[in-house]
Amino acid sequence: MTIEEKIAVRITPTKNGPYKVEFLDNLSNRHGKLEVKETMWLCRCGGSTTKPYCSGAHLKNGFNSSKLDGRVEDRRDNHEGKEVTIHDNRGICAHIGFCTDELPAVFRLGQEPWVDPDGASGDRIVAQVRRCPSGALSYSLHNVEFRDREGEPTIFVSQNGPYFVTGGPELLDTERGEGASTEHFALCRCGGSKNKPFCDGTHWYINFNDEKN
């Protein structure tokens, strides 16, 4: 199949139901590759007995796919430094913690402003921002913004957390946050996010557990 003939991978968050995933070749978890089909239904209510695949649990547990009141405001802030400008939208952050755990001199938990764009070298900041799985963080160098990465469409089922989506599959019927990446993002699979279909870190607080994946 040529590049021109390649079928676009699509993800559709169905109303009060699972993610419909079409034409995806790369689905994996920490153990390795998982079985794929041309059309798959991936759980997002948190209750499936066959995670990551849907078992129909949403029909019994009252899963509601709507966005909820009280979610973090969708607003992008720009933190301009001497070498690099860091763009951040807390409203689409999945709170995985790569930034605060791995570069606390720049991403300062519990401080305001929480970002110090001069707290490390520009190269180190760029490398860290590129680790952000939700697309909440991006960066600019010389007034040119860098947001996305290259790669094949992939869904990674994180342990006790969201689906990490990379490679730019189409996400249908979904509003994006200000400055959000269309190439990489984190989708809720615990069922509790206030910003569905995107992860907002709720899995931490409700102790979402998926030992298999």
State pLDDT tens for residues 6-25.
579 999 999 999 999 999 99
3-state secondary structure of 43: coil
**How confident is the prediction for the chain on average, in pLDDT?**
95
Strand order in the sheet with 137-141: 76-80, 85-89, 137-141, 144-146
Residue type, 11: I
User: Architecture of domain 10-61 in CATH?
Assistant: 3-Layer(aba) Sandwich (3.40)
Q: State what percent of residues in the chain have pLDDT above 90.
A: 95
Residue 5 has pLDDT above 50, yes or no: no
State pLDDT tens for residues 134-176.
999 999 999 999 999 889 999 999 999 999 999 999 999 999 9
The confidence score (pLDDT) of residue 6 equals 57
Q: For 65-71, what is the mean pLDDT?
A: 96
State pLDDT tens for residues 119-134.
999 999 999 999 999 9
The confidence score (pLDDT) of residue 7 equals 79
CA distance linking residue 107 with residue 104, whole number of Å: 5
Cis peptide before 197 (omega within 30 of 0): yes
CA distance linking residue 133 with residue 158, whole number of Å: 11
Rounded to the nearest 5°, which phi and psi values hold at 202? -60, -25
Annotated domain spans of the chain: 10-61
Torsion of CA 89, 203, 111, 148, to 10 degrees: -30
Cross-strand partners of 89: 76
Contact between 21 and 11 (Cβ < 8 Å): yes
Residue type, 180: A
Query: What pTM was estimated for this model as a whole?
Result: 0.94
CA distance linking residue 19 with residue 37, whole number of Å: 14
